[in-house]
Amino acid sequence: MGELGRISVYDALGGGAVADTLLWRKCYGGVMLLIGSTVMWFLFERAGYNFLAFVANTLLLLVVILFFWAKSASLLNRPLPPIPDLDISEESVLVAADEMRVWVNKGLATLHEIAVDGNLRTLLLVAVGLWLISFIGSLFNFLTLVYIGEGAC
């Protein structure tokens, strides 16, 4: 840090493996990221592939590969595929449910304010907000919105 208040781009990106990849310090990771992004762009933009179909087909391929790996392992006396024990802790479920409850309660309170109290101002704010989201969404395609959302995070 040369001057007061200035940080390097590497430090701004977190200074770890992500920063190394994005700044092309690790060429292999940068090349893989570029190739993966290009393939995703081609699939969704040029080929017209649907995101939900892509996820479903990828999961189907993964399940079939794991099935045949397990079957061939038992026939050839090889080790089974290294699948970790996937358990979601009760704490994480409770935290997620509590956060979701807050969002749902805010939405229900707004709905109550519009439907029961007849608050015209809230109705107009919600209508304008939803219209703006719809309008902005119509200007971009899904993949561009994902990139914008990732950039905002």
Reading the block at residue 5, the tokens are 């208040």
Q: Which residues of the chain have pLDDT under 50?
A: 1
Return the pLDDT at 46: 79
pLDDT the model gives residue 88: 85
The residue count for the chain: 153
pTM over 0.85: no
Contacts for 1 with CB less than 8 Å, ≥ 6 apart: 7, 8
Amino acid sitting at position 32: M
Q: How many CA atoms lie within 13 A of 99 on its CB side?
A: 5
Would you list the domain boundaries of the chain? 8-48, 49-79, 96-152
